[in-house]
Amino acid sequence: MKVIILGGDGFCGWPTSLHLSKVGHEVIIVDNLSRRNIDNELEAGSLTPISPMGVRLKAWQEISGKKINFYNIDIARHYEQLVQLLDQEQPDAIVHFAEQRAAPYSMKSSHHRRYTVDNNINATHNTLCAIAELGLDTHLVHLGTMGVYGYGTSGMKIPEGYLDIEVVTEDGERIPQQILYPPNPGSIYHMTKTQDQLLFAYYNKNDGIRITDLHQGIVWGTDTEDTKRDERLINRFDYDGDYGTVLNRFLMQAAIGYPLTVHGTGGQTRAFIHIQNTVRCIELALQYPPAKGERVKILNQMTETHRIRDLAELVAELTGSEVAYVDNPRKEAAENDLKVDNRCFLEMGLEPTTLAEGLLYEVTEVAKKYAHNADVSKIPCTSVWTKEQKAGIPQVKEQVTSNTGKT
Amino acid sequence: MKVIILGGDGFCGWPTSLHLSKVGHEVIIVDNLSRRNIDNELEAGSLTPISPMGVRLKAWQEISGKKINFYNIDIARHYEQLVQLLDQEQPDAIVHFAEQRAAPYSMKSSHHRRYTVDNNINATHNTLCAIAELGLDTHLVHLGTMGVYGYGTSGMKIPEGYLDIEVVTEDGERIPQQILYPPNPGSIYHMTKTQDQLLFAYYNKNDGIRITDLHQGIVWGTDTEDTKRDERLINRFDYDGDYGTVLNRFLMQAAIGYPLTVHGTGGQTRAFIHIQNTVRCIELALQYPPAKGERVKILNQMTETHRIRDLAELVAELTGSEVAYVDNPRKEAAENDLKVDNRCFLEMGLEPTTLAEGLLYEVTEVAKKYAHNADVSKIPCTSVWTKEQKAGIPQVKEQVTSNTGKT
């Protein structure tokens, strides 16, 4: 089928584009390269040497014989360009990764809060509006986040998007209903994804758009089978305090002999998925679209849950690093349990890559191999969630010397 | 107290500004005059002759001896101006009316859908972001809508914002919870108000902002005690297919001898409130703010419910008009019941103005008095909710001659 990948230059979008191209889809990438511009802003680029889009696509064509087209469009700003492209291409499906996706970045300042809301809501709304305006029967697959659910408020297993409830009336009558899982986002970024859900529900109800919303866990790993085929195809690896996910941060810290910094008690439990599984899930979501007239299909895209301090211990064991506990920049519960239903993807045929399997590759082939590119000063998270926290930006409690020569 | 009214030039904002000024608050109006610009766009202005802001404020000062300051700021676009104003004024409260508020207008075209989402979300977010950035203890009062609830899905009485539910776990255990009432908006406009709710919940939780969200019914009536004091203070009366609420449309149609056009079966039940009660509710909401640390306070701002065809019959009886049934441009249930809990405002001291009391004044003193200003062609709703409906834009089934000389 013909698939447009919005945000196809990013950490998830790029390997997804290659995977879908490899399995036989006609892939078109739309991206405004905003993630690379944010690298410039933060003065913290990918640890791995990512190539410019033109080089990436040329390499892919040499190696796979397949062509991917690329359009540099800011879909949140330039609606007419988006409409024109969709009208011209009439895609069978659109995969929408084109949102600012880092919680700490979204909390850095008013500017970053405002950019995240404005960019994410308009990107999603413009896409829906364009599909409705053109009357396309395009299947929209969106990357949501496990973070829309909040973490462990009720102790129950989180279902795939919808919650069975009983409404108790004044007369004590119990009325069974199924509702969107009540949102409880932990950052402005996560909040925008809960607003996206309302956009999807509305356009599905009013305009009949077929939508799959994937609530994804924290993605770990760098390469997929496809990005490994040539260094020009390598995927990004973010280790900075804003875009580096917790596991990548640990790997990087281990590689350069820096203590693994755990925020708070490390009692937070989170859901995880390997990047190779991410691209497979998108393939499966495209293969099993909702039927015409069906409500928004919501799937939990994750394979395992871990407590952060257990992750730190795991990486420490593997690498001989120390663990350092620092203040938590986030406003969140110190400890939580997390049980998540992910039967849908398993039933479709997803075979999970476990942390135990993939972690050593990440340490040796990515973090250690490219450690000379690291800027240690970018590792701590300097974004804070509230004004009260600004007084005490979290710091590693003891200074260590980096083995990279940089500081 | 010092109160900033965002959107203080509009149909609800203007009489609220006067009322709050009269009862002794220091009032500052912020408005970008977008509603007047939309009059220009739609070529359909207020039936009543509204004065420019400068004339309005001069008249109010002459009559009441009180000064209201005015700032022309687009708060969705010019964040820095908003921050500067809030920093300078340090208001005790902000009343936020500054959103595009017509469902049909929000559905006219892609442009109107996109404007409504972009304007409303950024206006609300900028306001919250500015309060958080400045660390103000300002109470934010927002005008929401009964439309966030959807209409009559469960047959239960709609509570004030939060719903008591029981979550049923896999083991059959029942866990009681209180959640935001599950939204079910009927237009892009209403959808933006459900997105606003997520913004409020987040900023309340993360930044401790004190917020009251008023879910208002359909406002009817034109004048308040204050706007009646001088013709230069007169409030807007919208009768066009986009901004005219259903009752105003009936009044106008009656005044000019046009059949009262009922959409579909007229079996839709809606909540209503008189404009004099609206301004009193805002006064009460300011008087009883939520405490520091309290969650978002949600109140239902309405006084009675009516079925649309009953309203038409009531106006027809009062005026001798006919009732005409036309196709429904909206995608909604043909018939619904609606029971709404509104105890909070009644307990604070609200004394409802009933339709039976106020309707004759509207017919004689407003609709008939200014009928010569009407453009009959603007009365039908020409916005449609879906592409399928575009083929058959609703029309009055028999043409009638207007007694105004215009067509």
Smallest Cβ distance to A114: which of B129, B188, B198? B129
pTM for this entry: 0.94
- pLDDT, tens only, A172-206: 788 888 999 999 999 999 999 999 999 999 999 99
Confidence check: pLDDT of A89 > 80: yes
Interface ipTM: 0.93
Smallest Cβ distance to B202: which of A83, A165, A191? A191
Tell which A residues from 60 to 89 touch B, by Cβ distance under 8 Å: 79, 83
The contacts of residue B378 (CB under 8 Å, 6+ apart) are B42, B43, B44, B239, B240, B241
| Any domain includes B390 | no
Q: How many CB atoms lie within 10 A of CB B28?
A: 21
Q: Choosing among B125, B170, B386, which should be mutated to test the A contact, i.e. which has the most A CBs within 10 A?
A: B125
pLDDT over 70 percentage in chain A: 95
Q: How many CB atoms lie within 10 A of CB B127?
A: 27
- The total domain count for chain A is 1
Residues of A in contact with B170 (CB under 8 A): 156-157
CA gap B61, B59 in Å, rounded: 5
CA gap B233, B58 in Å, rounded: 10
| Any domain includes A188 | yes
- pLDDT, tens only, A217-257: 999 999 999 999 999 999 999 999 899 988 988 998 898 88
Nearest to A125 by CA among B114, B54, B39: B114
DSSP count for chain A of H helices, then E strands: 13, 14
CA gap B53, B73 in Å, rounded: 13
| Any domain includes A203 | yes
Tell which B residues from 201 to 260 touch A, by Cβ distance under 8 Å: 202, 205-208
| Any domain includes A174 | yes
B337 vs chain A: nearest CA distance in angstroms? 15
Q: How many CB atoms lie within 10 A of CB B109?
A: 13
Q: Is B292 on the interface with A (CB under 8 A)?
A: no
What integer best gives the mean pLDDT of chain A?
A: 91
Q: Is B390 on the interface with A (CB under 8 A)?
A: no
| Any domain includes A371 | no
- pLDDT, tens only, A116-144: 999 999 999 999 999 999 999 999 999 99
CA gap B54, B231 in Å, rounded: 14
Structural domain span for residue A222: 2-238+272-305+337-355
Alpha-carbon separation of residue A92 from A19, A29, A80, A141 (angstroms): 17, 14, 20, 11
| Any domain includes B165 | yes
Lowest mean pLDDT among A29-38, A165-174, B86-95, B314-323: A165-174
| Any domain includes B405 | no
Tell which B residues from 99 to 138 touch A, by Cβ distance under 8 Å: 110, 113-114, 117-118, 121-122, 125-126, 129-130, 132-133, 135
| Any domain includes A368 | no
Give residue A84's identity as a one-letter amino acid code: Q
Q: Which residue has the higher pLDDT, A140 or A401?
A: A140
Cβ atoms of A146 and A271 within 8 Å: the answer is yes
- CATH number, domain with residue A77: 3.40.50.720
